[in-house]
Structure 1
Amino acid sequence: MTLKTDSPFETDPPVFLLKDLTTRALETHEYALAGQLLEQQHYLGDCPAGRQLLQVVEYQGHWVALLDWGPACWKLADRETHIGWTHQQRAQRLGLIVQNRRFLVLGQERMPNLASRALGLSLRALPEHWKALHGYCPVMAETFTDIEQFEGTCYKATNWKPLGLTKGFERHRADYFRKHGRPKKLWIKSLNRNSLRILTGMDVPKAYERGLNQNSPERDLALTKGQMLGLREHFQKHFTDPRRDNRTYPASSLLVFITMALLAGRDTLTSIQRYGNLLTNQQRRWLDFPLKKGTSVRKAPSWSALYNFLTQIKPDDFASCLNLWLGSNLGTLPRALAIDGKWIRDQALSLCLSEHETGAPVAVGFAEKKSKTDENKREGEQTVALKLYANTNLEGATITGDALNNNKPQAHAITQAGAHYFLQLKNENRHAYKAADRLAQEGSPLLPTRKNPTPPTDASTSEA
Structure 2
Amino acid sequence: RALLANNARLLVLPGCRHANLISRFMRLMLGRLSADWERRWGHPIALVETFVDPTLHRGTAYKVSGWVQLGQTAGWKRDADDFYLRHGTPKQVWVRELARKACAKLRAPQLPPTWATVEQSVRPKCTFHVEPILSLMAMLQGQIAEFRRPQALGYPVAGLLSLMVMAMATGVRYGAEDLADYADTLSQGQLRALGFRRDRHSGRYRAPKRTTFQRVMEAVYAPALETVLLRWQEQVLGPSQDPLVIVDGKKLRHGGRELVNMVDGQGRFLGSALTPDKTNEVPVARQMLARMDLEEKLVLADALHTCKQTAQQIHLEQGGDYLLTVKPNHHELHQELGKLFTEQPLSPSGHATDPCPNPGEELRSAGDPSLGLPGSDAHPGGLPRGAVGGELGEADPSGRGLACRAGVPDQQS
Q: TM-score, normalised by structure 2?
A: 0.52
For 1:271-420, what aligned pairs fall within 5 Å after superposition? 271-279=175-183, 280-282=185-187, 284-285=191-192, 287-293=194-200, 294-303=202-211, 305-309=212-216, 312-320=219-227, 322-323=229-230, 331-333=238-240, 335=242, 338=246, 339-341=248-250, 350-354=259-263, 357=266, 360-368=268-276, 370=277, 376=278, 379-397=279-297, 399=299, 404-405=304-305, 409-415=309-315, 417-419=318-320
State the identity %.
20
TM-superposed deviation, 1:285: 4.9
SS of aligned partner of 1:296: coil
Provide Cα deviations, 1:66-85, integer angstroms capped at 9, x if missing partner.
xxxxxxxxxxxxxxxxxxxx
For 1:202-213, what aligned pairs fall within 5 Å after superposition? 203=109, 209=116, 212-213=119-120
Find the aligned partners of 2:36 and 2:300 in 1 and give their Cα distance.
39
Provide Cα deviations, 1:390-426, integer angstroms capped at 9, x if missing partner.
1023444555555555555445544454555666777
Q: Which amino acid aligns with 1:217?
A: P
State the match for 1:50 in structure 2.
Answer: none
Aligned length, in residue pairs: 323
Find the aligned partners of 1:104 and 1:261 in 2 and give their Cα distance.
37
SS of aligned partner of 1:253: helix
SS of aligned partner of 1:237: helix
For 1:220-235, what aligned pairs fall within 5 Å after superposition? 226-235=131-140
Find the aligned partners of 1:333 and 1:404 in 2 and give their Cα distance.
26
- Judged with a 3 Å threshold, the aligned counterparts in structure 2 of structure 1 residues 193 and 317 are, in CA distance, closer, same or farther, namely same
TM-superposed deviation, 1:131: 12
The equivalent position to 1:240 in structure 2, one of 145, 151, 156, is: 145
TM-superposed deviation, 1:250: 2.2
- Judged with a 3 Å threshold, the aligned counterparts in structure 2 of structure 1 residues 356 and 285 are, in CA distance, closer, same or farther, namely farther
Find the aligned partners of 1:139 and 1:439 in 2 and give their Cα distance.
53
Find the aligned partners of 2:35 and 2:62 in 1 and give their Cα distance.
20
State the match for 1:217 in structure 2.
Answer: 124
- Judged with a 3 Å threshold, the aligned counterparts in structure 2 of structure 1 residues 168 and 203 are, in CA distance, closer, same or farther, namely closer
Higher share of residues assigned strand: 1
TM-superposed deviation, 1:388: 1.0
The answer as to whether partners of 2:4 and 2:49 remain within 8 angstroms in 1 is yes
Structure 2 gaps of 5+ residues are: 84-90, 350-413
The answer as to whether partners of 2:26 and 2:65 remain within 8 angstroms in 1 is yes
Find the aligned partners of 1:262 and 1:114 in 2 and give their Cα distance.
46
The equivalent position to 2:46 in structure 1, one of 118, 138, 141, is: 138
Q: TM-score, normalised by structure 1?
A: 0.48
The answer as to whether partners of 1:341 and 1:381 remain within 8 angstroms in 2 is no
The answer as to whether partners of 1:231 and 1:325 remain within 8 angstroms in 2 is yes
The answer as to whether partners of 1:97 and 1:139 remain within 8 angstroms in 2 is yes
The answer as to whether partners of 1:337 and 1:399 remain within 8 angstroms in 2 is yes
SS of aligned partner of 1:389: helix
- Judged with a 3 Å threshold, the aligned counterparts in structure 2 of structure 1 residues 109 and 320 are, in CA distance, closer, same or farther, namely closer
The answer as to whether partners of 2:67 and 2:95 remain within 8 angstroms in 1 is yes
The answer as to whether partners of 2:263 and 2:270 remain within 8 angstroms in 1 is yes
Q: Which amino acid aligns with 1:277?
A: D
Find the aligned partners of 1:400 and 1:429 in 2 and give their Cα distance.
18
Report the more deviating stretch, 383-392 or 256-265.
256-265
SS of aligned partner of 2:238: helix
SS of aligned partner of 2:178: helix
SS of aligned partner of 1:288: coil
- Judged with a 3 Å threshold, the aligned counterparts in structure 2 of structure 1 residues 231 and 101 are, in CA distance, closer, same or farther, namely closer
State the match for 1:112 in structure 2.
Answer: 19
Find the aligned partners of 2:254 and 2:328 in 1 and give their Cα distance.
33
Q: Which amino acid aligns with 1:381?
A: E
Which structure ranks higher in relative contact order (CA pairs < 8 Å, sequence separation ≥ 6)? 1
The answer as to whether partners of 1:340 and 1:401 remain within 8 angstroms in 2 is no
The answer as to whether partners of 2:179 and 2:213 remain within 8 angstroms in 1 is no
